[in-house]
Amino acid sequence: MSKSNFSRRGVLKTGMVASAGLALPQYLSAQESGYTNAPGDSEVILGFNVPQTGPYADEGADELRAYELAVEHLNGGGDGGMLPTFSSQELDGTGILGREVKYVTGDTQTKSDAARASARSMIEKDGAIMITGGSSSGVAVAVQALCQEAGIIFMAGLTHSNDTTGKDRRANGFRHFFNSYMSGAALAPVLEAAYGNSRKAYHLTADYNWGYTTEEAVRTSTEAMGWETVNTVLTPLTQTDFSSYIAPVLNSGADVLVLNHYGGNMVNSLTNAVQFGLRDAQANGQNFEIVVPLYSRLMAKGAGANVKGIFGSTNWHWSLQDAGSQAFVRSFGTKYGFPPSQAAHTCYVQTLLYADAVTRAGSFNPCAVDEALEDFEFDGLGNGPTLYRGEDHQCFKDVLVVKGKENPDNEFDLLEIVEVTPAAQVTYPADHPQFAGGALGSCNPGA
Amino acid sequence: MDQFILQILNGLDKGSAYALIALGLTLIFGTLGVVNFAHGALFMLGAFVAVTVSNLLTLSHKVIDETRTDFLGNPLQVDVPYLYDLFGQATGDTIIDWAVPISIVVAIPIMVCIGFIMERGLIKHFYKRPHADQILVTFGLAIVIQEIVKYFYGANPIPTPAPEAFIGSFDFGVILGFDPNQIIYPYWRLVYFFFSVIIIGAVFAFLQFTTFGMVVRAGMADRETVGILGIDIDKRFTIMFGIAAAVAGLAGVMYAPINSPNYHMGMDFLVLSFVVVVVGGMGSLPGAVAAGFLLGILESFASMSQVIDILPGINQIIIYLVAIIILLTRPRGLMGRKGVMEE
């Protein structure tokens, strides 16, 4: 009979000593550098926090592909993607500040609490120096606040609510993606040109933060050009069949239906609206029209032929002909066999922008990165000349107004670009009422 | 008045789906005594049978079109369905267009088989276990089925349109003396309503007018006595599980053109359908059907902006509110039988 030498107390002691030993280098490094998760000399870890399960899992998968591509390019692999077209030529394919880029991933599940938990785990356990990703404004706002507390830079993925860089803006958070205000400002002139300025709009709005800011932005922009808002109805986020919300629209006096919905909500509400004949109907002596303020090609695919002829806005589209977009599409398409989504584009660009800021600053310190990104002007990343405004950490660049294509050439050819709205037309003062109530505060390096 | 009629139509349409799912749930509960939380997954599987049939009918080979380019600038590879080679383009397109009705024929044997496998392979081992165990295992099964579907089909909805002949809307207004376009309702939703009425009628006729159905009803009323008479009631109940799965599957197939199928659609309906079963009365087939239509209509009226303006948020809670009121006033539900789930 053998006797074990392990005792409960012994195991606990050994475990505590081992844990302290493992944590010590990181702690000392953080103390020495003055910021959280200071990387060693050989590698730096980035945290990609995307929806890997749940309704936005396909969008999350596309974001992850883009991140992997960005890491490959930063480390000198592949064809370099947008590195040669990026106006800042600091990145040379040797990682970031000579350190090989590694990454860890988390699953946001498109739930704020799960997203915060996965981000926290990547920061505390994996030593991620930067967190990026997300396909929802609720998640972005929650993770941004966490990163601010932890002293980590957050480079937002797909988040369109005004609040991300409005009332919930944070010094450690940065958004490349456009926002609700910009959608409204870009769409309004195109809608006026296409449908005139004496229209009556009926809004169906998803009952959560993004829905509210999008409805407000589109309503304000369209009312400013003479449209009247007949009714605004909030629809539950969990709604799948919108028939009872859509059936009254035709007899409401409205001649335009604005669907402030995204994802599955958008697919279902648009499908239902077309089923009820709204696209072919007449009201007030005019053709009835439908508008979808925020388009996503991945989501548009779910609505099939129903998107044909329907206007919306998007941050980027693979059919853009500028050198940066073409380089990214070629790189992504060659590797994965299909063109990237706007979510993939913004995530790829955010990773490059972070790496570039660190390189220009010569430091991973979040406050140095913060300084390098603020008021940074760049080009060659797919949206024309762009400004990362220091006052609210929002990118200002061209916005695309798109329309569902009538005769698609292939399965990816769902949207056509109607207008590239110049950045100046979608720029607003940082204290604009739709963005009121927030303050960046000061950057937090953590440690 | 026009709004009233429209919401009645909406309610009947919504109620059709609730009633079909609740009917299957009640069949399983009434025969096998199992609370089947995987029933929504069967509805979803039915919708994905339609997606699969549609994919199979559009199975294609590639033909290079030198005159066009793909997104990378290479010559475009055009998909040409094998059906075109077999029947010509016109006939091929017609067959593809009718993918959803064709799926109905395919779905029946597939769903019955899935029902058999579920019942014999897993659920039969939980007959004598508490309802809590049954709920846990069937809920777990639903999640597994969901994840399998997501693995193969992705998380995004997949458009599965109705045949061209059913695209568009029927103008009720003209018939009822209103102005044109005042009360219009999509053809396919009307088809869905009549289809559900036929399925519900067929299930009731099967139980009411066949010897098999009579034995099943006897077994539902007193399983032990039927067993003593030498009838293998378990075998018949297994068949009923298969039929219930087929009913849920058919509801899913026909629902595919209404909302693009996605892996989560079963869960969206499941909770509501359980409320329908409870409101109708556990184990009561007519109760399930009546409650399905009733709650569908109430939900539609609660979604009207005029109602929401008076009672904000009522659209989100109406079904649960009605459930609470009915259970307080009629604890066994609308048509619940004494003794069911009361031991």
Whether A29 is in a domain gets the answer no
Pairwise CB contact (< 8 Å): B155 & A55: yes
B260 touches chain A (CB under 8 A): yes
Pick out chain A residues at pLDDT < 50. Answer: 1-4, 6, 22-31
Strand partners, A96: A99
Residue B270, pLDDT score: 83
B14 touches chain A (CB under 8 A): yes
- Own/partner long-range contacts of B298-302 (Cβ < 8 Å, ≥24 apart): B298/B11, B298/B322, B299/A244, B299/B11, B299/B14, B300/A243, B300/A244, B300/B7, B300/B8, B300/B10, B300/B11, B300/B14, B301/A244, B301/B7, B301/B11
Q: At what angle do helices B233-255 and B2-32 cross, to 10 degrees?
A: 150
Whether A306 is in a domain gets the answer yes
Q: Is A56 helix (H, G, I), strand (E, B) or coil?
A: coil
The domain defined by B2-60+100-329 folds into ABC transporter involved in vitamin B12 uptake, BtuC (1.10.3470)
Residue A28, pLDDT score: 44
Q: Provide the 10 A C-beta neighbour count for residue A10.
A: 10
Whether A323 and A270 share a structural domain:
no
Q: How many angstroms separate the CA atoms of B246 and B206, rounded? A: 14
Provide, as residue numbers in chain B, all residues whose Cβ is less than 8 Å from the Cβ of A304.
159, 161, 260
Q: Which of residues 109-168 of B touch A (CB under 8 A)?
A: 150, 154-159, 161, 168
Whether A18 is in a domain gets the answer no
Q: How many angstroms separate the CA atoms of A305 and A77, rounded? A: 39
Residue of B80, B156, B188 best to disrupt the A interface, most CBs of A under 10 A? B156
Shortest CA gap B145–chain A (Å) = 14
Question: For residues B3 and B52, which has the higher predicted lDDT (pLDDT)?
Answer: B52
Query: Does pLDDT of B339 surpass 80?
Result: no
Whether A167 and A191 share a structural domain:
no
Nearest residue in chain B measured CA to CA from A58: B155
Whether A50 and A166 share a structural domain:
yes
Whether A284 and A337 share a structural domain:
no
Whether A307 and A187 share a structural domain:
yes
Shortest CA gap B68–chain A (Å) = 8
Whole-number percent of chain B with pLDDT over 90: 43
B2 touches chain A (CB under 8 A): yes
> What is the DSSP track for A234-288?
EE-TT----HHHHTTGGGTT-SEEEEE--THHHHHHHHHHHHTTGGG-EETTEE-
Residue A247, pLDDT score: 86
Whether A332 is in a domain gets the answer yes
Q: How many domains does chain A have?
A: 2
Whether A58 and A166 share a structural domain:
yes
Contact A282, A254 (CB under 8 A): no
ipTM over 0.90: no
Residue A224, pLDDT score: 95
Whichever domain contains A306, its CATH number is 3.40.50.2300
Contacts of B143 (CB under 8 A, 6+ apart): none
Pairwise CB contact (< 8 Å): A248 & B259: no
Q: How many angstroms separate the CA atoms of A96 and B55, rounded? A: 45
Provide, as residue numbers in chain B, all residues whose Cβ is less than 8 Å from the Cβ of A247.
3, 6-7, 9-10
Contact A202, A255 (CB under 8 A): no
Token digits for B130? 């508490």
Strand (E) or helix (H) holding A206: strand A200-206
- Which of A375, A392, A409 is a domain's end point? A392
Model confidence over B62-79: pLDDT tens digits?
A: 999 888 888 888 888 888
Provide, as residue numbers in chain A, all residues whose Cβ is less than 8 Å from the Cβ of B262.
55, 264, 302
Whether A349 is in a domain gets the answer yes
Token digits for B7? 């919401």
A308 touches chain B (CB under 8 A): no
Q: Please tell me the total number of residues recorded for chain B in this structure.
A: 343
Whole-number percent of chain B with pLDDT over 70: 98
Give the residue-averaged pLDDT of B131-158.
Answer: 90
Provide, as residue numbers in chain A, all residues whose Cβ is less than 8 Å from the Cβ of B163.
none
pTM of this prediction exceeds 0.80: yes
Query: Does pLDDT of B87 surpass 90?
Result: yes
Q: How many angstroms separate the CA atoms of A53 and B82, rounded? A: 35
Pairwise CB contact (< 8 Å): B260 & A271: yes
- Which of A314, A337, A372 is a domain's end point? A314
Instruction: Please name which of B45, B40, B38 lies closest in space to residue B141, comparing C-alpha atoms.
Output: B38
Strand (E) or helix (H) holding B78: strand B75-81
Provide, as residue numbers in chain A, all residues whose Cβ is less than 8 Å from the Cβ of B12.
none
Whether A8 is in a domain gets the answer no
Give the residue-averaged pLDDT of B81-95.
Answer: 94
Whether A171 and A56 share a structural domain:
yes
Provide, as residue numbers in chain A, all residues whose Cβ is less than 8 Å from the Cβ of B265.
240
Q: How many angstroms separate the CA atoms of A405 and A428, rounded? A: 30
Residue B127, pLDDT score: 81
Pairwise CB contact (< 8 Å): A56 & B2: no
Measure CB to CB from residue A58 to each of B155, B299, B308 and give the nearest one.
B155
Whether A7 is in a domain gets the answer no
Measure CB to CB from residue B262 to each of A264, A280, A329 and give the nearest one.
A264
Whether A69 and A163 share a structural domain:
yes
Place of tokens 């024929």: B105
Strand (E) or helix (H) holding A131: strand A130-133
Q: Which of residues 109-168 of A touch B (CB under 8 A)?
A: none
Contacts of A46 (CB under 8 A, 6+ apart): A67, A71, A101, A102, A103, A104, A128, A129, A130, A132, A351, A354
Shortest CA gap A416–chain B (Å) = 13
Structural domain boundaries, residue A215: 181-314
Whether A208 and A289 share a structural domain:
yes
Measure CB to CB from residue B182 to each of A251, A329, A409 and give the nearest one.
A251
Shortest CA gap A53–chain B (Å) = 8
Listed by start position, the domains of chain B span 2-60+100-329
Question: How far from each other are the two terminal CA atoms of chain A, in whole angstroms?
Answer: 51
Shortest CA gap B81–chain A (Å) = 14
Q: Residue A258 carries which side chain, given as an amino acid letter? A: V
Q: At what angle do helices B2-32 and B285-302 cross, to 10 degrees?
A: 150
Contact A68, A133 (CB under 8 A): no
Residue of B305, B317, B319, B320 best to disrupt the A interface, most CBs of A under 10 A? B305
Pairwise CB contact (< 8 Å): B300 & A244: yes
